[in-house]
Amino acid sequence: MFIEKVSGEDQIEIIVDLAHEIWNEHFIAIIGKAQVDYMLERFQSKKAIVEQIGNGFLYYLIKSNDDYIGYMAVLPKENKLFLSKLYIASAERGKGYGREAIDFLEKLAFEKGLKIISLTVNKNNSATIEMYKKLGFETQGSIVQNIGNGFEMDDYKMQKNV
């Protein structure tokens, strides 16, 4: 597995495509199609990703055997590395890529002198919550965020000390 830091337009376009594929496959059952469409446009369009990178988000593409199979995004914030996105294409799940991605982020946090990786995860995203627990994350309460157009994100907050 290779991890590529994202800076160019071509890479961002690959992320937009992966986001469409993975969000439509995984999140319609959890939040519905209307919210998936809205969130893709609001948070994972090319324009939105360029803006996020301009605001300090670090995006990474995950590659295996010359194929892009997933991506992640983090934001260093105060003493924490906030894990904003981690998505692996469905055919590639359960092969250890998620664990390798978290290992990479732990090293990144360490290099930046950050002691905690934090994240939010939808309360109904059960398999992913189990995965985070398996990798040492603990639940730290919950958070509801209004994201506009009548939609909200109803998440658990989780974190891991690194």
Ligand X SMILES: CC(C)(COP(=O)(O)OP(=O)(O)OC[C@H]1O[C@@H](n2cnc3c(N)ncnc32)[C@H](O)[C@@H]1OP(=O)(O)O)[C@@H](O)C(=O)NCCC(=O)NCCS
* Residue placing its CB nearer to ligand X in the complex, 56 or 94: 94
Which of 82, 87, 137, 156 binds ligand X (CB under 6 A)? It is: 87
Question: Parallel, antiparallel, or unpaired for β 151-161 and 116-122?
Answer: antiparallel
Q: Is 88 helix (H, G, I), strand (E, B) or coil?
A: strand
75 forms beta bridges with 82
44 binds ligand X (CB under 6 A): no
For the purposes of burial, counting CB atoms within 10 Å of the CB of 30, is it exposed (0-12), middle (13-18) or buried (19 or more)?
A: middle
77 binds ligand X (CB under 6 A): no
**Residue 89 CB, nearest approach to ligand X (Å):** 8
118 binds ligand X (CB under 6 A): no
Q: Which residue in the block uniquely carries the two structure tokens 């250890």?
A: 96
Q: Is there a contact between 1 and 63 (Cβ–Cβ < 8 Å)?
A: yes
Taking CB atoms, the residue at the shortest distance from ligand X is 98
159 binds ligand X (CB under 6 A): no
- 2: alpha, beta or left? (left if phi > 0; alpha if psi -120 to 50): beta
2 binds ligand X (CB under 6 A): no
20 binds ligand X (CB under 6 A): no
**Residue 136 CB, nearest approach to ligand X (Å):** 10
* Residue placing its CB nearer to ligand X in the complex, 27 or 114: 27
94 binds ligand X (CB under 6 A): yes
